[in-house]
Chain A
């Protein structure tokens, strides 16, 4: 009897916590978005500045995700397979973006590319607009979403070992063939899972991008910045509408992750 009581107690606490902290706010967004009807929601979403904000978010993700995927795989291979001095430090540095607040990242980029920063004058001299423009927003997003692919790939590479790769070499495959035919297929689920996480992080990024973008409506405003903007201008239905779209994407990502995760453990 006490055993089943404690079991139900555990479930109650776990579910209650999830309900209050995670589910309730999301449900609120869904509910409020449709508060004034579907037509109104559609109207606020088809505002040109909102459409532009979504486009910008997708463009940034489309640049940051492939770059971080390639970097994550290379980084994982270097850490696990090369055994170079300092591999442990690289492995730790990859995690840095998880530990640093995005606002701090944004601020440091602001200082780096500002008029008196290390790189700022060089770009200014060559007529390249970094701050308050796409380049710095992309760099900020890359920074914050950098660890996810490497974090998934490193343990998987360790687990599969390098015997299959050695076997491929003795069978006549060069380094490139071995990577495409043996290594990449073996880590594919880890890479896909990492890509999903990276995408989610890119779409949801706010803090770092907020600092470097300058919030210019219709120009450097991403979807998350647009939510803030709408909220501050008392356009609550608009804020809820954009939030709804972002939340729907997150739920889709969650579903994708759930579908992918069991496959990760099977060969």
Chain B
């Protein structure tokens, strides 16, 4: 089911959370709303779910105006950052909630819950209470609960934000696989650009209540629309009036007319890569990403003078 957001505005007191925002989400796609905190991404997601009312603008679900439709009639599944588990119900009852509310036959509910418990790898946890689960398990339960009534749209608000790095990475891959199997239109909110780039087909970059750019991860990285997207998506530093990615710089030991001088301030070993933190003659700080072999060949160390050549640069008018 496609989602169209048209000219949505929302104000909380003096704070303009959303300012004339329009977004198109294709049916069956996996879209990320990416932005720093306060960018309005969660507010937009909550407006799509009907949990918040816009001050102006329209929401269209599958081409039909849903702006004034109550959340329980929108057919959306919603996953909260802090799980919003029903603490007084077992895992099984949590997952069955949406089906019981719809008064589905008991046999059907039992079968569907069993199927979902298997899908989220919580077989054998059905009779436990949320308090007896780990964070990752609780969020998988919340996902199963949201998926149970077969929503046409799945909305996730910073779904992995409260989890530790390893569980996070695991659930990211799992969400991507789930989407590839079910093709449910999915929108998730994140402030982590890596998460957005890794999981989503399309990324909508938001800042201060506005959409900065909506594009595929590759296009965002290679053709950012403005300085904000350039600096927020992937690493980028300013160097002499233009923007460069850390891997767009070449470090050499001999100067020529295309290089500039820099002092090595710090060398950080990232495992498979090495990051050198440099200071140019104009007192500009920037980072360079090198392979291990390159770094070893250059014998980079703190206090060394090197020369840097720009392989590619981006200038915004």
Contact = CB atoms under 8 A, between A and B. Distances in A.
B169 interface: no
Given A170-B71, A177-B101, 9 more contacts: A163-B80, A164-B86, A170-B51, A170-B77, A173-B72, A182-B86, A185-B88, A186-B87, A188-B88
Interface of A: 163-164, 166-174, 177, 181-182, 185-186, 188, 267
Given A166-B51, A166-B78, A172 B84 contact: no
Contact of B149 (A172, A181, A185, A186): A172
A171 B87 contact: no
Interface in B23-72: 49-51, 70-72
Contacts of B148: 171
A168 B85 CA distance: 10
Given A177-B101, A267-B129, A170 B86 contact: no
B145 interface: yes
B97 interface: yes
Contact of A172 (B80, B85, B101): B101
Interface of B: 49-51, 70-74, 76-78, 80, 82, 84-88, 97-98, 101-102, 129-131, 142, 145-146, 148-149
Contacts of B97: 168, 171, 173, 181
Contacts of A170: 49-51, 71-72, 74, 76-78, 146
Contacts of A172: 72-73, 98, 101-102, 149
A229 to B, nearest CB: 47
A168 B131 CA distance: 18
B98 A171 contact: yes
A167 B129 CA distance: 17
Nearest to B76: A170
A78 B212 CA distance: 39
Main secondary structure of the interface of A (DSSP, over half): helix
A171 B82 contact: no
13 contacts: A163-B84, A164-B84, A167-B142, A170-B49, A170-B51, A170-B71, A171-B97, A171-B146, A174-B70, A177-B101, A181-B101, A267-B87, A267-B88
A267 B84 contact: no
A122 to B, nearest CB: 42
A148 to B, nearest CB: 23
Nearest to A169: B71
Nearest to B142: A167
B72 A167 contact: no
A23 B1 CA distance: 70
A172 B149 CA distance: 9
B9 to A, nearest CB: 20
A164 to B, nearest CB: 5
B82 A163 contact: yes
B1 to A, nearest CB: 15
Nearest to A182: B86
Nearest to A171: B98
A169 B87 contact: no
B101 A167 contact: no
Contacts of A188: 88
A164 B51 CA distance: 12
A186 B102 CA distance: 22
A181 B97 CA distance: 9
Nearest to A160: B87
A169 B51 contact: yes
A202 to B, nearest CB: 29
Rank and list the top 8 A-B pairs by shortest CB-CB distance, nearest first. Answer: A171-B98, A163-B84, A170-B78, A167-B84, A267-B87, A169-B71, A185-B88, A172-B101
Contacts of A171: 72, 77, 97-98, 101, 145-146, 148-149
Contacts of A181: 97, 101
B155 to A, nearest CB: 8
A164 B101 CA distance: 15
Contacts of B49: 170
Contacts of A182: 86
Contacts of A186: 87-88
A1 B183 CA distance: 73
Name the residue in B87, B131, B146, B148 with the highest tally of chain A Cβ atoms < 10 Å from its Cβ: B87
A163 B87 CA distance: 12
Nearest to A178: B72
A185 B80 CA distance: 20
A34 B142 CA distance: 61
A177 B74 CA distance: 17
Nearest to B79: A167
